[in-house]
Structure 1
Amino acid sequence: MTMRSLGLSIYPDHSNFEDNARYLELGHKYGFSRIFMSMLEVQGSLAETQAKYKKIIKYGNQLGYQTFLDVSPQLFDQLNISYSDLKFFAETGAAGIRLDQAFDGATEAMLSFNPYGLIIELNMSNDVDYLNNIISYQANTPFIYGCHNFYPQRGTALPYDFFLKCSQRFKKFGIHTAAFVSSQTGKIGPWNVEDGLPTLEEDRDLPIDVQAMHLFASNMIDDVIIGNAYASETELKALAKVNRYQLMLHVDYVKDISDIEKTIVEETQHFRRGDMTQAVIRSTIPRVTYKDITNTPHDNNEEFQRGDIVIGNDNFGIYKNELQIILQPHKEPRKNKIGSIQADELFLLDFIKPWTKFKLTSKWQKNNYP
């Protein structure tokens, strides 16, 4: 698996250097390492454009970022740049260029052999045989990346099933991938409509960390990028806390949770039992690890609802201290309710398949940052 990272977006033609530099410093503080930078709407001459972009990219490079410039065929025409020579982009200090629109396959393959070592990033948000065509022209695949679009207009971003089909085309070849989440505070994007900038429509109004959890849980995306600028420090902190390699869901505890129950929740490497049931997600290791520790009944007479976390109590025999996440409502007095998955994360339960590894932690830890 490719190592996963976090990124943010800069729009030099809609902002100033000082604000962008402060934003990059803040992102660096929280472990961000990638910049998406739009060049779709440049103003000024070739020299002016290069100087403006070079200044902020150089600053990002000093902080350890990799910058990808979003470009289109119109930009090549506007700045009189040839596809056969990417020197202009290399001299900005960028790590790569993202081709917002497709060429003919042979062109992209040739671009991947550019002498500057620039990564060629392709638009992933099309369910067509685009990538296969490029690969068939013997592309330099280590220098081919993929990145989804973002969608400023409400109601126009991708549905999840379509996103999955598009992404699978890239993952089949082991291509490094990226997609966008949307800040709820950012107001800057490439265009004069900005209803948020997510890749997935269902993510548009979710907390930014839950959006990232969704993309990482798909196992289709390596880099999660904030599409709009500027995200708040609270949002950057929240993204920094996201576990990029397994779901870490947040639990709102009941008042009477015991110490052993809290230990079972937070200190176990959970995985869903392989012979799954539709009623619950079973994490059975705790019943072995903590089989000799008592667990007094409490909060055990209500009907449990989807997303409730329960642990077997002293009356449950061999199943004492087994942890379960409720999928279908039922009553069972031999189980203690110890908390519930945070409401906006409930849909992520669908990503916990047989043998899926996952972590649980307290809602308090999510909302209180050091």
Structure 2
Amino acid sequence: MNGFGISLYLSTGLDRNAAILKKAHRAHMQYAFTSLQISEENTENKMEEVNSLLKLCKASGISLIADVSPYTLKKMGCSSFQKLKKTAISYLRVDYGFSCEELVGLSKDFHLVFNASTLKDDEIAELQRLHADFTKFSACHNFYPEPLTGLSAERVKKTNERMHSLGMKTMAFVAGDSSLRGPLYQGLPTLEKQRNSHVLLNMLQLFQECDTDICLVGDIDVSDMAYRQIQELAEGYISLQAEIKPEYCFLTERLHHDRPDSSDYVIRSQESRKYVSEGRTFPAEPLCRPRKKGSIFVANADYLRYAGELQIARRDLPPEAKVNQVGTVNSACLPYLSYIRDGMGFQFVLPSSSKIS
């Protein structure tokens, strides 16, 4: 099951972080990343602010992943990680400065999150020699503030496959679409191609193309629309804005799911064949023109026992006399069609609806 998270920065301020956590909780986001190593985060009373942030996360049911090193630990006034444990931090993102023996010891008290890009084969071999429990480890890719420095999808996928073979979960970042983090304000994605793309599309790509387990927003915040879309994705479906003929508006009244044996050509609603048993009829209205990508059509009476089945074209298709075209997915939502697979849910939203804007 995929996971979702946000990023919280001490410099954002406690009140705004509290508001972000409320939105994240409503969107079913389970994780929050914070860095205690970024220079801009060198605020006074850091340990006190971290504790306040932890209390907010705990109240929201969100696990805080803290990026630390032995140096930042001392800077925070902590004499040992045992003292840090008392703060209720359960996830530590560790990078440089720790020996393998120290990491194995820390894993008894914390879930450790490695830097996916810098974990080397010799370190893995040494952890294995020390009988490390890799189920207590995850691997998180960096985010990249500078344009043209992000990773490729192919590299992230390859790294994720390697981490999964060891038993670790994987994490990566997407850029925000609301409040971007300074000093560059160029987004904080893992994949370079996602620097200026949509939050939902970026998460779908990381989940399905890169085999990522947990997607975190790297920037300070996302738009209300993005929160709604993340909530829906966490609940297992995507909303598609569409133009639907008035006589077929009943198609918008329920959640549909693509068949688990997904077709490369069309999305097939598992629920739609029930329409005939509910008393609906589908007289033939032969479709004599090609079906464009995003066309929504229903099998008509000429399709016999398949009558009523709702489909969406994933790609341009030839004409078909046994289906009636009932609507069209709006162009902004066409990129999502290739990701609605293997039982994923979807619903149609009319343009007049405020559900998606």
TM-score of Structure 1 vs Structure 2, range by shorter chain: 0.7 to 0.9
The separation in 2 between residues aligned to 1:87 and 1:337, in whole angstroms, is 64
1:279–1:118: structure 2 CA closer, same or farther, 3 Å change rule? closer
Amino acid at match of 1:89: L
- Structure 1 residue 198 and structure 2 residue 196: aligned? no
1:93-132 → structure 2 map (5 Å cutoff):
93-101=88-96, 105-113=100-108, 117-125=109-117, 129=121, 132=124
The separation in 2 between residues aligned to 1:137 and 1:314, in whole angstroms, is 67
TM-score (norm 2): 0.81
> 1:145-169: per-residue Cα shift (whole Å, max 9, x none)?
2222212223332222222111112
What's the secondary structure of 1:24's corresponding residue?
helix
Deviates more, 1:235-244 or 1:40-49: 40-49
Residue 170 of structure 1 corresponds to: 163
1:170–1:76: structure 2 CA closer, same or farther, 3 Å change rule? same
1:193-342 → structure 2 map (5 Å cutoff):
193-218=184-209, 220-243=211-234, 246=236, 248=238, 250-256=240-246, 258=248, 262=252, 266-271=254-259, 273=261, 276=263, 279-282=265-268, 286-287=272-273, 290=276, 293-298=280-285, 300-326=287-313, 327-342=315-330
The separation in 2 between residues aligned to 1:29 and 1:351, in whole angstroms, is 24
1:148-163 → structure 2 map (5 Å cutoff):
148-163=141-156
The separation in 2 between residues aligned to 1:44 and 1:248, in whole angstroms, is 36
1:45–1:226: structure 2 CA closer, same or farther, 3 Å change rule? closer
What's the secondary structure of 1:290's corresponding residue?
helix
The separation in 1 between residues aligned to 2:64 and 2:274, in whole angstroms, is 49
Q: Is the 8 A contact 1:249 1:341 kept in 2?
A: no
Q: Is the 8 A contact 1:100 1:123 kept in 2?
A: yes
The separation in 2 between residues aligned to 1:320 and 1:128, in whole angstroms, is 56
Q: Is the 8 A contact 2:178 2:223 kept in 1?
A: yes
> 1:164-191: per-residue Cα shift (whole Å, max 9, x none)?
11111222344233222222111235xx
What's the secondary structure of 1:28's corresponding residue?
helix
CA shift at 1:94, angstroms? 1.5
Q: Is the 8 A contact 1:153 1:194 kept in 2?
A: no
CA shift at 1:281, angstroms? 4.7
> 1:281-328: per-residue Cα shift (whole Å, max 9, x none)?
555774477377421345823321223232222233444333333224
Residue 348 of structure 2 corresponds to: 362
Q: Is the 8 A contact 2:243 2:330 kept in 1?
A: no
The separation in 1 between residues aligned to 2:332 and 2:118, in whole angstroms, is 28
Amino acid at match of 2:257: Q
CA shift at 1:225, angstroms? 1.8
CA shift at 1:361, angstroms? 0.6
Out of 2, 5, 26, which is 2:23 matched to? 26
Q: Is the 8 A contact 1:300 1:337 kept in 2?
A: yes
Q: Is the 8 A contact 1:105 1:130 kept in 2?
A: no
Residue 7 of structure 2 corresponds to: 9
> 1:327-355: per-residue Cα shift (whole Å, max 9, x none)?
243222322223344545544444466xx
Q: Is the 8 A contact 1:270 1:359 kept in 2?
A: yes
The separation in 1 between residues aligned to 2:212 and 2:121, in whole angstroms, is 19
Count of aligned pairs: 352
What's the secondary structure of 2:45's corresponding residue?
helix
User: How many percent of aligned residue pairs carry the same amino acid?
Assistant: 22
TM-score (norm 1): 0.78
Q: Is the 8 A contact 2:78 2:84 kept in 1?
A: no
- Structure 1 residue 75 and structure 2 residue 72: aligned? yes
Q: List gaps (5 residues or longer) in structure 1.
A: none
The separation in 1 between residues aligned to 2:55 and 2:234, in whole angstroms, is 29
Amino acid at match of 2:113: E
Residue 146 of structure 1 corresponds to: 139
What's the secondary structure of 1:242's corresponding residue?
helix
1:55–1:269: structure 2 CA closer, same or farther, 3 Å change rule? closer
Q: Is the 8 A contact 2:252 2:349 kept in 1?
A: no
CA shift at 1:67, angstroms? 0.9
Amino acid at match of 1:255: K
Q: Is the 8 A contact 1:141 1:175 kept in 2?
A: yes
Residue 172 of structure 2 corresponds to: 179
> 1:230-255: per-residue Cα shift (whole Å, max 9, x none)?
334443233222245x5535251333
What's the secondary structure of 2:344's corresponding residue?
strand
The separation in 2 between residues aligned to 1:123 and 1:67, in whole angstroms, is 16
What's the secondary structure of 1:92's corresponding residue?
coil
Q: Is the 8 A contact 1:251 1:339 kept in 2?
A: no
What's the secondary structure of 1:146's corresponding residue?
strand
The separation in 2 between residues aligned to 1:60 and 1:243, in whole angstroms, is 19
